[in-house]
Amino acid sequence: MDFKQQHNIEKTIDALRENLAYALEYYHVLEGLHEEAVASDSKIGCFPYLMSSIWSALFDALFLKLNHFVDRTKNVYSFYRLFKLIKRYFPDDEVLSRKVSEDEKRLSKTADPVINKIENWRKLVVAHLTQSSQDQSFYDQNMMRLHEIKKFLELSLEILDYYSVTILKRSTDSVSDVLEYYNISELKEDIQRLFEGLKAESDAFQ
């Protein structure tokens, strides 16, 4: 692998790492909001319209980020671009070849129905105002739960980390760096403090 080839792979992996950081951040905010909403002393119920707006906007942003990983559009950063570069630059590496084939299958719609839902949300609801976006049956068929999204994010972390360490020889990369991008416990504490503050101000004006 020459300098230009390494540069191309490094740029692709770094773009995916940044995308993953944002996706994880959005996911954990949603998770924190959900946990706060089900708490017995939750203040979120006092702000239904604010909660609905934040929840919807975060999901739209999250689906865009999730779809980037499996986007097959030409000249975009995705796992498929990374796989294409690896096949081109390492044609005789049997280990990498088998790993790429394995990961392509793991990211296929047939292997993971969640990927089909991600693409449907991005294409039919977030990116375009389609007729499907106004159809209740779409939401029934493409309902996604937080644990499904978490599983896909964990798969993305695993795949990205393997190629970063194996090809770029980074001893610590996507998993450690991305998780250190922010403090999850502090993020959830911020959510709790936010709604406690809003509730206190609301009570003061009553």
pLDDT greater than 60 at residue 182:
no
- pLDDT of 65 higher than 70: yes
Across the chain, what does the average pLDDT equal? 87
How far apart, in whole angstroms, are the C-alpha atoms of residue 91 and residue 100?
Answer: 11
Determine how many CB atoms are found less than 10 A away from the CB of residue 54: 16
pLDDT category of residue 178 using cuts at 50, 70 and 90: low
CA distance 13 to 11: 6
pLDDT at 136 over 80: yes
- Taking phi over 0 as left and psi of -120 to 50 as alpha, with beta for the rest, 76 belongs to beta
The C-alpha angle 76, 80, 84, rounded to 5 degrees, equals 100
Alpha helices in 39-112 (DSSP H): 48-69, 79-89, 94-106
Q: What is the mean pLDDT of residues 76-95?
A: 97
pLDDT at 181: 56
Q: Looking at the predicted structure, is the pLDDT value of residue 63 above 60?
A: yes
- Residue 199 to residue 110: CA distance in whole angstroms: 46
What pLDDT sits at residue 203? 66
> How much is the pLDDT for 201?
66
Q: Is it the case that residue 149 has pLDDT exceeding 70?
A: yes
- Separation of alpha carbons 106 and 49, rounded Å: 38
Q: What is the mean pLDDT of residues 57-66?
A: 95
Instruction: Specify the 3-state DSSP secondary structure of 171.
Output: coil
Choose among 68, 52, 51, 49: nearest CA to 126. 68
Nearest to 31 by CA among 68, 52, 58: 58
